[in-house]
C-alpha cells in the first residue's frame, strides 16, 4: 500500500491540519493500492496564503525566466513519464498503451505548446490613444477530474504558470497519485515555493473552500455539469472569474455520402476509447434511416471486437471504468435504455464474460434510439453508444443540437465542403470532420451546459490573463 499523506504547500510536503485519510481503489482489482490525506478549509487557507505571497514576486518574473522554467519542467516530466503512465493505468484503469500514447503524452504536449505560446505572446499592444496590457489574473484555484487526469491538470497548470499566476490544485480524489508525481516534477524543476500548491480532498470540503475563498481570483474547473454549477454558485459571492469545462453528449452525424463501414466502425472505436470516459466522446451516432440496419451490423461487429481486460495485459483494448459509483450508474442507464425500448444490439448489463472482478462494462450498442430517451440525453460516461436514425439532413442537425450540452460534434462525409457546412450549424465548441484528431493549439470547450471559457492553446492561455487599458497623454 502506497501512502501519500502530505500536501505540497509553499514548496514543502506538509501534514494536513486535521488528519483524515482515503483509500485509493484500483478499479481492476477493486482493492485499495494507495492512501491519501483528505484536506479541509484550513489546508486551503494555508495553500492560498502561500500562493498569495508568491504571486507578488512570481507575477513579475520575465518571459525569459518562465521559458527557462518550462524547459526544466519538460526535462523533469520526461524523466517521470513512465511513472505517470503506470500510475494512471493503476488508479483509473486506462490500458497501459493508452496511458503511454495519450494520457501521459497530453501533459507533455500541453507544457510544450504553452511554452511555444509564451515565446511569441504579445503582452502589450497599441490601440489608438491607449495601449492594452495583459497581466496575470492572480491566485488560481484548479479543480480537475479523473478521466484524463494529467491532461486536465496540465492544461490548467501550464498556462497559469506561463501567465505569471500562482495556484492551488485539487485533483480528483479518485485518481490523485498522478498529481502527486506532477508536484514532484515541478519541485525538481525549480518552480518557486508557493507558486504551485496541491491539496487533496473532496468537493464538499476542499473544492467549496477554494471556490468561495476571498483570496482566490479565478476558479478553473473541469468535471460534471452538476459540480460545475456548485463551483459557480460558491464563487459568486467573491465575484471571481470562473472557467468551466463540463459534460457532453456529442453527436456524430454520418451523412449519406460517407463510407458507412469506415464511419460507423471509426465512430464506435472512438466512442469506446478510454472505456467511454471522455466528455467529448461521440456517443450519439446519427445515420440515414435507410442505412440504419446496415449501420447496426457494422457497429455490432466492431463493438464485439473490442476486448475489455486488465490494463496491463497485452491485447486489452479498454480497461475498467474508474469506480463502483461509475459502474453502478452505467449499469442503471443501460437497463434504462432497455426499459425505454431501445434495441440492444450488443452488450448489456453485467460484466463481460470471464471478468468477475473489476469495474468492467460490456461494450454496448443501442439502435433505434430516439432523442427523448435517457441514453440519448444523459452523459453515460462508459462504453455505451446510441444509434439514432434520421430522415433528412435538417432533422440530423436538429437532433444533434437537441441536448443541454454543446462540447463536441463529428461529421462524416465524402464531401468535406458539405461536412463543413453541416459543422457550421452544430451548436458545439469543437467539430471533427472525417475522423480528424485534436490540435493542442486549438481551443477546447463548449456551448450551453458544457461550460464557458476555453482551454488549450492561445485562447486557453488568455483565460489566465486580465486586460488593462493604459491611457497616455498626447506628447
Enzyme catalytic residues: 245, 279
Tell me the H-state helices in 121-257: 149-163, 177-189, 208-211, 225-236
What does the alpha-carbon distance between residue 144 and residue 154 come to, in Å, rounded to a whole number?
Answer: 10
Closest CA to 274 of 283, 263, 265: 283
Q: How far apart are CA 387 and CA 408, in angstroms?
A: 17
Q: How many CA atoms lie within 13 Å of 370's alpha carbon, on the beta-carbon side? A: 4
User: Cβ-count burial of 437 within 10 angstroms (0-12 exposed, 13-18 middle, 19+ buried)?
Assistant: exposed
Phi-psi region of 185 (alpha: psi -120 to 50; beta: other; left: phi over 0): alpha
Contact 270, 264 (CB under 8 A): no
- Which residue, among 38, 82, 291, has the nearest Cα to 176 in the 3D structure? 38
Find the length of the chain: 475
Q: Which of 375, 365, 410 is nearest to 263 (CA)?
A: 410
Amino acid at each position: 500500500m502506497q501512502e501519500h499523506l502530505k500536501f505540497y504547500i509553499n514548496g514543502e510536503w506538509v501534514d494536513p491540519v486535521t488528519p483524515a485519510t482515503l483509500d485509493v481503489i484500483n478499479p481492476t482489482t477493486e482493492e485499495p493500492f494507495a492512501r491519501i490525506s483528505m484536506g479541509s478549509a484550513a489546508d486551503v487557507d494555508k495553500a492560498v496564503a502561500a500562493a498569495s505571497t508568491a504571486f507578488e514576486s512570481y507575477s513579475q518574473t520575465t518571459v525569459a525566466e518562465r521559458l527557462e522554467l518550462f524547459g526544466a519542467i519538460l526535462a523533469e516530466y520526461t524523466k517521470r513519464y513512465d511513472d505517470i503512465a503506470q500510475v494512471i493505468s493503476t488508479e483509473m484503469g486506462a490500458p497501459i498503451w493508452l496511458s503511454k500514447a495519450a494520457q501521459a503524452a497530453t501533459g507533455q504536449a500541453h507544457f510544450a505548446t504553452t511554452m511555444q505560446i509564451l515565446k511569441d505572446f504579445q503582452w502589450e499592444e497599441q490601440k489608438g490613444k491607449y495601449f492594452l496590457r495583459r497581466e496575470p489574473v492572480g491566485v488560481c484555484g484548479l479543480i480537475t477530474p479523473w478521466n484524463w487526469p494529467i491532461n486536465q491538470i496540465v492544461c490548467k497548470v501550464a498556462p497559469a504558470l506561463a501567465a505569471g499566476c500562482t495556484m492551488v490544485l485539487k485533483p480528483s480524489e479518485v485518481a490523485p497519485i498522478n498529481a502527486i508525481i506532477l508536484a514532484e516534477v515541478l519541485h525538481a524543476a525549480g518552480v518557486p515555493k508557493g507558486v504551485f500548491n496541491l491539496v487533496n480532498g473532496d468537493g464538499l470540503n476542499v473544492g467549496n473552500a477554494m471556490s468561495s475563498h476571498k483570496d482566490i481570483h479565478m476558479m478553473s474547473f473541469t468535471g460534471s455539469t452538476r459540480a460545475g454549477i456548485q463551483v459557480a454558485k460558491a464563487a459568486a459571492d467573491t465575484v471571481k472569474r470562473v472557467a468551466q469545462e463540463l459534460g457532453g453528449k456529442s453527436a456524430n452525424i454520418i451523412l449519406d455520402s460517407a463510407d458507412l463501414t469506415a464511419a460507423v466502425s471509426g465512430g464506435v472505436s472512438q466512442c469506446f476509447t478510454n472505456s467511454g470516459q471522455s466528455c467529448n466522446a461521440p456517443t450519439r451516432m446519427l445515420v440515414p434511416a435507410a442505412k440504419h440496419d446496415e449501420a447496426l451490423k457494422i457497429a455490432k461487429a466492431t463493438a464485439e471486437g473490442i476486448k475489455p481486460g486488465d490494463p496491463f495485459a497485452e491485447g486489452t483494448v479498454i480497461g475498467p471504468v474508474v469506480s463502483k459509483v461509475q459502474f453502478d450508474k452505467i449499469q442503471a442507464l443501460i437497463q434504462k435504455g432497455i426499459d425505454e425500448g431501445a434495441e440492444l444490439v450488443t452488450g448489456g448489463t453485467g460484466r463481460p464474460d470471464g471478468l468477475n472482478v473489476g469495474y468492467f462494462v460490456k461494450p454496448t450498442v443501442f439502435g433505434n434510439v430516439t432523442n427523448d430517451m435517457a441514453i440519448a440525453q444523459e452523459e453515460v460516461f462508459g462504453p455505451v453508444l446510441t444509434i439514432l436514425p434520421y430522415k433528412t439532413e435538417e432533422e440530423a442537425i436538429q437532433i444533434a443540437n437537441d441536448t443541454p450540452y454543446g462540447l463536441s460534434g463529428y461529421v462524416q462525409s465524402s464531401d468535406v465542403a458539405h461536412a463543413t457546412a453541416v459543422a457550421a450549424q452544430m451548436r458545439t465548441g469543437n467539430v471533427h470532420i472525417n475522423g480528424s484528431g485534436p490540435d493542442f493549439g486549438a481551443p477546447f470547450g463548449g456551448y450551453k451546459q458544457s461550460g464557458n471559457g476555453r482551454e488549450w492553446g492561445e485562447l486557453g492561455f488568455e483565460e489566465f490573463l486580465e486586460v488593462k487599458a493604459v491611457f497616455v497623454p498626447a506628447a
